[in-house]
Structure 1
Amino acid sequence: MAKPQDLPLELLQFYLTAPYPCSYLDNEEARSQVLAPNSPINSHIYSELVRHGFRRSGSFTYRPHCDQCQACVPVRVNVEEFIWRRINRRIFKKNQDLTVHHQRLVFKEEHFQLYLAYQQARHPKGDTDTDSKEQYVHFLIHSPVNSELIEFRLNNQIVMVSVIDYLDDGISSVYTFFDPTQPDRSLGQFNILWQLNLCRTLTLPWLYLGYWIKECRKMNYKIQFQPLEGLIDHQWQPLAFAQE
């Protein structure tokens, strides 16, 4: 019997979800291709899935599979060729007073309260059911692969939390939330810069940033990290139009 690390992707089982309202584009319906819950998975298999455009939410591994739309483009940053602009250096220097702690995935009340504050600031009209502790745990604390929770503190006060997955060829940025009362720090951008540095330290060539949608303003920040590659027609290629 094939070991999980030797299992060809063709032998994995997937299913398609029913259509649901798109979270990013108004008046659009979305569908997802999801890895069946009983499928064997480890960090090696997941790394290959990420290279094919998948990512995960908790224990669910998925990729967009919409009937009429291909707006979601998986993107990754070339670590060695990343261009540090003056603004990147300013942001990175501004946050050098933060202390960083690597931890296993664990629930902490202070993390959850920061998550709630972040969600309220970013999505004030969101569904309150998505702000439960149970949802938070399933979304960020459950993982079938090699994952880590990174704390960023200022004077021992939590200001940012980031969940990352370690892949064979890089790091996948799962989710980051931070103190919305400190906009001058540009914490979201700093976090990506910090993850790029972590990739470089570990000699990992790619930082995977999930999906990018050109028409979605909330995703515009991703095009600031060049050179950016997108998975288009099953091929990773430079996103030349990302400079627009």
Structure 2
Amino acid sequence: MRHSLPLAPQFYVTAPQTCPYLEDRQERKLFTALQGEHAAELNDALSKQGFRRSQNVLYRPSCAECNACLSARIRVADFNPTRSQKRTIRKNDHLTRRARAPWATEDQFDLFRTYLDSRHADGGMADMDVFEFAAMIEETPIKTRVIEYRPSDGPEKDDLSAVCLTDVLDDGLSMVYSFFDPALRDFSLGTYMILDHIELAREVGLPYVYLGYWVPGSPKMSYKAKFSSLEVYRGGEWVDLHQLEDLDVNKHPLSTDPIAEQVAGIQLPDIDIFKS
């Protein structure tokens, strides 16, 4: 008997597990596979609705008792760097940006392991080996680039300083995952990569830079709120962060919509097969 993949995306929910951002919380994700000839259209449409890509999966939080994780993006046209961010740009003017195809290399993995061992030794990715790293970089059915940053001259010009795995959406750049040399902490490379992606989006005429999730109350995510023109996806729409007055990260379990209702509210791309 021959089986074929369903044409319309099928959505599932993960079992609750320990939240990596807030203590004493449980996280749960709504997810779907990203595959087939219309993967790019699906990724574009769901990214606008708070989803994120991880290899061949799109997901967004669907927690029963918490709504802290808010998808965040920067409006490129309205962004103005702070004085501190301008200093960060100047400190890194010796770096050269290079956009590569999504193909994992040894120096990328070496930098990745150094970064994890220094910054996230107890995190969920701490045990990733070279094969899992290669899958993270290479398993993508959409337009993805690996953005590398290296010194442009001097004795260390070939050294890899920072890397960002970046998706190219129809309305922006999505920073999937970034890492950098922890020995260069004084250069604020995490912040610099965001600033450079804003400039890159300007260069190619894209209106947004997607940063993943901002989590109020999580020290790991506090840096994202320092960027001007930051929007978060809340209540089915993108809202300027600084216009939000109520950011209660708790909610009653009975206030959570059933998964079926959550899925019914997702807007799929305007492709006939997804509507059949």
Q: TM-score under structure 1 normalisation?
A: 0.90
Q: Secondary structure at the match of 2:183?
A: coil
Q: Which moved more, 1:134-143 or 1:215-224?
A: 134-143
Q: Cα distance, 1:172 vs. partner? A: 0.6
Q: 1:199 to 1:127 in 2, by over 3 A?
A: closer
Alignment match, 1:196: 198
- Aligned residue in 2 for 1:3: none
- Return the alpha-carbon distance in structure 2 between the equivalents of residues 77 and 38 of structure 1: 27
My pick for the range that moved more, 15-24 or 72-81, is 15-24
Question: Hey, what's the Cα distance between the residues in 2 that align with 1:27 and 1:68?
Answer: 11
Deviation at 1:93, TM superposition (A): 1.4
Residues 196 and 129 (structure 1), Cα distance of their counterparts in 2 relative to 1, 3 Å cut: closer
Q: Distance in 2 between matches of 1:36 and 1:160?
A: 29
Measured in 2, the distance between the counterparts of 1:99 and 1:143 equals 25
* Distance in 1 between residues matched to 2:10 and 2:76, nearest whole Å: 32
Deviation at 1:131, TM superposition (A): 2.3
- CA 1:188–1:109 in 2, change beyond 3 Å: closer, same or farther? same
Distance 1:193 1:38 in 2: 31
8 Å Cα contact 1:118-1:178 kept in structure 2: yes
Q: CA deviation at 1:127?
A: 6.0
Provide the residue aligned with 2:253 in structure 1.
Answer: none
Where does structure 2 lack aligned partners over 5 or more consecutive residues? 1-6, 152-156, 246-276
- RMSD across aligned C-alpha pairs, in angstroms? 2.0
Find 2:171's aligned residue among 153, 158, 169.
169
Determine whether 1:134 maps to 2:136: no
TM-score by length of 2: 0.80
Residues 17-76 of structure 1: CA deviation (Å, up to 9, x unaligned) = 111111111221111111136666422221111001101111111111111111100111
Does the aligned pair in 1 maintain the 2:116–2:126 contact within 8 Å? no
Q: Aligned pair count?
A: 235
1:147 aligns with 2:144: yes
Cα deviation code 1:127-176 (max 9, x no counterpart): 68632112212223211111000111121111111110001111111111
Q: Which amino acid aligns with 1:202?
A: V
Answering whether residue 217 of structure 2 is matched by residue 220 of structure 1, we say no
Larger Rg computed on CA atoms: 2
Pairing of 1:105-116 with structure 2 (within 5 A): 105-116=102-113
Change (3 A) 1:86 1:38: closer
Kept in 1, the 8 Å contact 2:35–2:56? The answer is no
| Paired residue type of 2:233 | L
Query: How far, CA to CA, are the matches of 2:241 and 2:38 in structure 1?
Result: 30
Report SS of the residue matched to 1:215. Answer: coil
Give the corresponding residue for 1:65. Answer: 62
Conserved 8 A contact 1:166-1:172: yes
- Choose 122-131 or 106-115, whichever is displaced more: 122-131
Provide the secondary structure at the position in 2 that maps to 1:158: coil
Identity %: 35
Cα distance change of structure 1 residues 124 and 38 upon mapping to structure 2, 3 Å threshold: closer
Whether the aligned pair in 1 keeps the contact of 2:232 and 2:238 (CA below 8 Å) is yes
The 1-side partners of 2:56 and 2:125 are apart by 22
Secondary structure in structure 1 of the residue aligned to 2:121: coil
Whichever residue aligns with residue 25 of structure 2, its letter is E
Structure 2 match to 1:14? 11
C-alpha distance after superposition, 1:87-144 (max 9, x if no partner) = 1111111111112211001111111010001001111234686321122122232111
Could you tell me which residue of structure 1 aligns to residue 50 of structure 2? 53
The answer to whether the Cα contact below 8 Å between 1:160 and 1:177 also exists between their aligned partners in 2 is yes
Q: Does 1:209 align with 2:211?
A: yes
